A and B are shown apart, each in its own frame.
Chain A
């Protein structure tokens, strides 16, 4: 089959690889019809995630059709269309049975910090990703959700990661109605978080980024006020908008390659002396009022980053974080999509055939051509 292949920092190719096979009785093989490129894939591409091996297949946002099932799979069968959560979870261990499928104990030998994830380095279990023609899906009748008729691939693929992750970010703010929520990062996850904050009762949503077209998108699509942090001192601007106190809650939707501080960029991004730049996270502490909540969605790898913890501690803030346990969110978020409250597909500005993966990554990473979110469509020759 054809599949993406990591060729070293900043290089991705599409190569011939062996077809995946059933390796466990609860596996299925999926023929991928749509695979998202996630912002966190860029951390992998840039060589930031430990144990990302040359030749890895990326991709953890997967929609596809069941091609083959293992002997213990009972609930899905050949021909079913599925959306696959990015977490690989057994559904029955201590954490899965309590709702934290993102913390499954049965799918990752490599580390205790995360469960198995598709195409996200050997630190998350060494699974091949879905930016390929076919992918092995463990626990095929536990994790994925069958797609209802009428739901398109483009409506389904954000359900694998970006939309539930953004929703969880807003949910973790613990809103009680009318609060001001600031979202750092107007990428796909940030935009889904902004719109989810409204659904969860926010009274005001403020977006922070430096990419003009994305701030416009946040204004238009997510009803947000927008601050360009290159135009103004962002913390002063937020305090000015919030009676001098700061926001009730902030959402960090940027992660370990944040811009905004030359020192953090130098140590964390260029020298790779620590696990990335924590600028957006540090801004969250300063932009949140005393006693407020900081909700962190951005990906930070081990071992550590330069985090201004003293500010959070002295300001009596609550910090909430977590990989999203996608499975528990799927029914409700599907309801929002079907009801038209969350037109998720409107963020997908770019579609590419699998063979053009390198161009897709480049356009997405460089924020060219007004790109908000890009997806690959394996099995498609040309896409317009």
Chain B
């Protein structure tokens, strides 16, 4: 089993283990045991990293936000390509860099449009036949009324 005493003898909990419900309390008190300290360390690539990465090839439409002087990153996701009206809105939003408010507000609006488009597409198999039946009914009524008048 592990050592329960704090690593630092100056720690106020040192020797007070009985009061302390969490095993290992104080064990990472020493900044040298803290993985995120310092936040930026001297540059060294991660093990097995071999950058700069090869450029990914893709036929899928992937937008880059419109920051000037920025290269397209070599690796990206290809999930859910843009489509429909929401796709056009997104294309417009990505013309602007991400420090422009309108980049984000147009994207959020496109999300709402995307949801409406999806709802519309889902309801078409029900709504379309229903509209056809209603339309055919109205046309038949109009025709029969005209026939009665003519007669």
Contacts and interface: CB of A to CB of B under 8 A. Distances in A.
Contacts of B36: 99, 168, 171-172, 325, 328-329
A52 B133 CA distance: 36
A325 B74 CA distance: 20
Nearest to A338: B2
Contact of A223 (B20, B53, B101, B112): B20
A51 B53 contact: no
A294 interface: no
B42 A98 contact: yes
Given A52-B111, A107-B76, A303 B104 contact: yes
Interface in B1-57: 1-2, 6, 8, 10-13, 20-29, 33-37, 39-54, 56-57
A111 to B, nearest CB: 5
B110 A92 contact: no
B92 interface: no
B93 to A, nearest CB: 8
A90 B6 CA distance: 36
Interface in B77-91: 77-80, 82, 86, 90
A113 B104 CA distance: 12
A329 B2 CA distance: 20
B100 to A, nearest CB: 9
A138 B51 CA distance: 13
Instruction: Give the bracket for the number of chain B residues in contact with chain A.
Output: 35 or more
Interface string B114-136: 11011100000000000000000
Contacts of B11: 177-178, 201
B80 to A, nearest CB: 4
A36 to B, nearest CB: 19
B95 interface: no
B28 A199 contact: yes
A128 interface: yes
B7 to A, nearest CB: 9
Instruction: Give the bracket for the number of chain A residues in contact with chain B.
Output: 35 or more
Contacts of A110: 63-65, 94, 98
A26 B108 contact: no
Contacts of A333: 35
Contacts of A23: 56-58, 78
A175 interface: yes
A311 B49 CA distance: 43
Interface string A88-114: 111111101111110001111111110
A48 B13 CA distance: 43
Contact of B40 (A98, A111, A327, A342): A98
A50 B35 contact: no
A134 interface: no
Interface string A309-347: 000000000000010010111011100100111100000
A109 B64 contact: yes
Interface of A, secondary structure class, is: loop
B115 A51 contact: no
Given A111-B98, A339-B24, A341-B24, A25 B54 contact: yes
Nearest to B2: A339
A60 interface: no
B75 A328 contact: no
A48 B25 CA distance: 37
Contact of B35 (A9, A108, A178, A329): A329
A74 interface: yes
A177 B29 contact: yes
Given A24-B53, A198-B22, A303 B78 contact: no
Given A9-B115, A23-B56, A341-B2, A142 B78 contact: no
A112 B94 CA distance: 12
A202 B13 CA distance: 9
Interface string A206-225: 00000000000000001100
- Quick one: which of A52, A57, A88, A90 has the most chain B CB within 10 A? A90
Contacts of B98: 110-113, 302
Contact of B24 (A112, A122, A336): A336
A111 B78 CA distance: 15
Interface of A: 7-9, 23-26, 47, 50-57, 72, 74-75, 88-94, 96-101, 105-113, 116, 122-123, 125-128, 138-139, 141-142, 168, 171-172, 175-178, 195-196, 198-203, 222-223, 272, 302-303, 322, 325, 327-329, 331-333, 336, 339-342
Given A47-B115, A112-B67, 10 more contacts: A23-B78, A51-B111, A75-B48, A107-B73, A112-B98, A142-B46, A171-B34, A202-B25, A325-B36, A340-B2
17 contacts: A24-B75, A47-B115, A51-B90, A91-B51, A92-B53, A94-B43, A99-B40, A100-B39, A106-B51, A112-B65, A125-B76, A168-B36, A177-B11, A198-B22, A198-B25, A201-B26, A341-B27
